[in-house]
Amino acid sequence: MSDPVEIMWHGRFIVAKQEGKWEYVSRARNINAAVIVAIDDGHVLLVEQYRHPLKAHCLELPAGLVGDDEEGEAVEIAAARELEEETGYHAEKIELIGRFASSPGMISETFDLVRATGLTRVGEGGGVEDEHITVHRVPVDEVPHFVAAKRNQGFAIDAKMLLLLAGDILR
């Protein structure tokens, strides 16, 4: 039998909860996220933006919320929308890879990883409102050097970037 879940704090996007001795954070309305590996002619699209919790710019894969505006939104639809908003690229194909947990000891949020291919530049990207996203189109074989350079500039590196660094790490 599990302990009852107590809502400690509820905001617009997140909810702090306690369940027995466990404290964790959830997305409000059980919203999920989509993380996009966008591959284009031997290049991958990366984004950087300032992340207030880290007090630093962060290098990341493009990503966004699923169903934040439309309940029941399909992951592929949300991923295509977020890819265009953040990077300015339209994907001919969005392929669902699977669901993953980002920090399962602290956050109940999961994300669906998708692969976007057949990319066409249709806009500037940069995100919506005050996101101020910078887009990078990086040759796949140069990703480790690009990440190291950003880290040396004081950037935070999102853990999901490990997907692109695994080959170098495992060698």
Give the integer Cα–Cα distance in Å for 16 and 6. 9
Within 13 Å of residue 55, how many CA atoms lie on the same side as its CB?
0
In 3-state terms the chain splits into helix, strand, coil percentages (rounded to 5) of: 25, 45, 30
- 129 given a catalytic annotation: yes
Q: Which two tokens stand for residue 99?
A: 């669901």
**Of 6, 19, 85, 129, which residue is the catalytic one?**
129
Q: How many other β-carbons are positioned within 10 Å of the β-carbon of residue 116? A: 26
Give the integer Cα–Cα distance in Å for 56 and 79. 25
Q: Kindly list the catalytic residues.
A: 129
